[in-house]
Chains A and B, each alone.
Chain A
Amino acid sequence: MSYTIDVYRRELPACTSFRDFALYVTFFPQLVAGPIERSVHLLPQTQRPRIMTAEGIEAGMFLCLWGLFKKVVVADNAATIANAIFADPSAHSGSALLLGALAFTAQIYGDFSGYSDIARGLAKIMGFELMINFKLPYFAVSPSDFWRRWHVSLSSWLRDYLYIPLGGNRGGRWATDRNLMLTMTLGGLWHGAAWNFVIWGVYHGLLLILYRAVGSLPGPRLPTAVWWADLLRVAVMFPLTVVGWIIFRVGSLADLGAFASGIGVPSAADHELQWAALGAVWLPVLLMQLAQLARNDLLCALRLPALLRGILYGLLLAATVALSTGESNEFIYFQF
């Protein structure tokens, strides 16, 4: 679809080589679950000679290892917690529901960003560049910032091929709000024909509209580029993201009701082990992300001396082997 539109828009000449086109369409690392590559980005790479560099190979290896760790250690372990709670939300207490929501938040990030990293890593090793799909999304300071960081290849696709053709923000406030809502609702539907995906899309559409509305109000504002103000913004945005994931994950509207009525209810501390396990598998991700944040570089680990890089790779590999659940868990986004 991207190819057809790009050629129609004359952003890309039609490909005359069947072999190059076939490689573009069937490029295996991203074929099943993205990143959703634009033809203008990937197709030219199939047409020119690839250059495999030492830097690219090591970056690719690191991305594969890091992605595997996020999938096998973070996502699969978080899934065992989330699945048990989402299977019957009405049977769980407020703290358990919160645990389930956070576990799914970790699971879906670990699962999908892990897959994207592996896909990008494999491509990098072979001399291809796929677009970055995740840019520390849980550090987002607003809904629009979240969508610049989460599943970037889809959100930018929706922006360029849906939101902007609908008129984007050029038609005034109401038209912009309508375009946002339409785009996000269709983005939700892209995940599947189920009510919770529609509600999830609408929810994110509403968040975008609400933040725009609040942002346009007169009055004092939080300063920008100040750490404590950003922290405050993240502290507001992150729970909103988690609420979105509850909507995304529930099996029925009744389950959504059980979450809505139960999650805020104080309850005795339980599931201590699961809380500890979730914290333990998330900690390495958090530490890595803080380093990435501080260096503004998603590949900052590659700047470590060779000795430390080697130890890091070894620990990631050992942890992936030792802490796997032993169960076969398909990537979540394979179904979309």
Chain B
Amino acid sequence: MLERGYEESIDHVTRARAIVLAVVIAIATVIGVELAVGAWLDRHGTNLGYRYIAHKWRVLGELDGPVDWLVLGDSSVAQAFDPEVLATERGKTSVNLGTIGNFGATGDLWMLEEYLERFGAPERVVLVHAYDVWHRPLDRALIGRVPRTWATSARIREQYEIEGDELIELVTNRWVRIYAERTSIRKALELAWWKLVKDDDELAAIRAADRELPRTEPTLEPNGFVRMCDPIPGQVAGDTRGHRKFLAKNRFRLSRDNQDALVRIAELAALHGFPVDIVPGPLYRRLAVEDDLERYLDAAVERQRRLLEPYAGVTVHRELRAFDSGQMQNADHITCDAAPDYTRWLSERVDPG
């Protein structure tokens, strides 16, 4: 049976129309796979930052009415501010739209603009970022992950001078996720495999050993709060070492993108008449008391206050809330157990009354 020679046969008649049909179906299949994989990545991808972005924009899009407080910022606040706590203790409605640090204040601005367009001015806008976010330029490629049609428009490309490799990255991030997120696809498949064959302890060890896998799985709540409950003291220590190196080497500077976005947010606040509070994200207690950190934070607050001085209603807060390593996942991300504490502190800080 196997001894026969294998040949190719194209003796059957193929009509050009059938080829065109096959090609069209092939293209449709690729598009279908792209959409399906994208939806799967938004929920199961190992790039948590991308999942946060997808989730927060979905939360904003599905918001069916105005809220009292609009909380914007990075992933440090995504895990730290729980709208449930604010509602219970202060009777205020809110939504947590913190995404990731590499969006900086630009992401905050875009979300605020969409909110204002749909609901008008909220009672208060709170911007919470880790102290080391302000110097970062906007990661242009990330714009492709904003699930809005304007994100890849000519206006955005011109405004942020996106061209060449950045443009390719932006477009693939938006439209060819099966390529742009192939690492996340691979890791998510690996994780799915491990979940099948390993028990919880073994899985935890695998997650701990692989930097490309999230240590724990977040619960993304409909109000935007990212519930991450397992403390990772070892990661806090390692991350703190990185922060110390950063602080020893760098003096504060405000990136052009963040500066422009902050000014625009302040203009909108003045125009619509709502207060804006800029607050530091939570920080590891031992890092928070270090001189280098104090100096950096002083410079950050001074620079932001000077920039936003002309605009009424914008308050830049200097104080920060520190936590022990047993309440944290790294040097600036707290666990769900500590989130009520931070939420309480934040609400009292921005609205003592």
Q: A and B: partners? A: yes
Q: Which one of B13, B14, B16, B34 lies within 8 Å of A318 (CB-CB)?
A: B34
Bound form: Cα–Cα A55–B10 in Å: 7
Interface size, A (range): 35 or more
- Within A202-246, the residues touching B (CB, 8 Å) are 224-227, 230, 233-234
B9-43 vs A, CB cutoff 8 Å, 1 = contact: the mask equals 11011111011011111111110111001000000
Q: Are B197 and A296 in contact (CB under 8 A)?
A: no
Q: Are A314 and B2 in contact (CB under 8 A)?
A: no
User: What's the minimum C-beta distance from A309 to chain B, rounded to whole angstroms?
Assistant: 4
Q: Residue on A with the closest CB to B206?
A: A273
Q: Are A310 and B10 in contact (CB under 8 A)?
A: no
Task: Say whether A330 faces chain B, with CB atoms less than 8 Å apart.
Answer: no
Q: Are A315 and B29 in contact (CB under 8 A)?
A: yes
- Specify which chain B residues have a CB less than 8 angstroms from the CB of A230 in the assembled complex: 1-3
Q: Are A296 and B25 in contact (CB under 8 A)?
A: no
Q: Are A310 and B26 in contact (CB under 8 A)?
A: yes
Q: A306-B25, A310-B22, A310-B25 are in contact. Are A322 and B178 (CB under 8 A)?
A: yes
Task: Say whether A31 faces chain B, with CB atoms less than 8 Å apart.
Answer: no
Task: Say whether A293 faces chain B, with CB atoms less than 8 Å apart.
Answer: yes
Bound form: Cα–Cα A277–B189 in Å: 10
Interface of A is mostly: helix
Q: Are B2 and A293 in contact (CB under 8 A)?
A: yes
Give the tally of cross-chain contacts (CB within 8 A): 130
Q: Are A225 and B193 in contact (CB under 8 A)?
A: no
Q: Are B22 and A298 in contact (CB under 8 A)?
A: no
Task: Say whether A297 faces chain B, with CB atoms less than 8 Å apart.
Answer: yes
Q: Residue on B with the closest CB to A322?
A: B178
Bound form: Cα–Cα A58–B22 in Å: 9
Bound form: Cα–Cα A55–B9 in Å: 10
- Within A296-311, the residues touching B (CB, 8 Å) are 296-300, 302-303, 306-307, 309-311
Q: Which one of A55, A307, A324 lies within 8 Å of B13 (CB-CB)?
A: A55
Task: Say whether A145 faces chain B, with CB atoms less than 8 Å apart.
Answer: yes
Q: Residue on B with the closest CB to A302?
A: B10
Which residues in A have some Cβ–Cβ distance to B below 8 Å? 54-59, 132, 135-136, 139-141, 145, 148-149, 224-227, 230, 233-234, 272-273, 276-277, 292-293, 296-300, 302-303, 306-307, 309-315, 317-318, 321-324, 326
Which residues in B have some Cβ–Cβ distance to A below 8 Å? 1-10, 12-16, 18-19, 21-30, 32-34, 37, 176, 178-179, 182-183, 185-186, 190, 193-194, 197
